[in-house]
Amino acid sequence: MGIFGNAFSGWHLLLILAVVVLLFGAAKLPALAKSVGQSVRILRSETKDSASEPGRSTDETTETGRPDTTTSTT
Spell out the per-residue pLDDT of the chain, length 74, in tens: 555 567 777 888 889 889 988 888 888 888 888 999 999 999 999 988 887 776 655 555 455 555 656 655 55
Q: What domain count does the chain have?
A: 1
41 within some domain:
yes
Task: For residue 39, tell me if it sits in a domain.
Answer: yes
Inside any domain, residue 37: yes
Any domain includes 4: no
Domain-located, residue 73: no
Q: Is residue 32 part of a domain?
A: yes
Domain of residue 37 covers 26-50
Rounded distance between C-alpha atoms, residue 60 and residue 69, angstroms: 9
Distance between CA atoms of residues 66 and 68, nearest Å? 6
Residue 58 in domain: no
65 found inside a domain? no
Of 24, 56, 43, residue with least CA distance to 16: 24
pLDDT per residue as tens digits for the range 35-49: 999 999 999 999 888
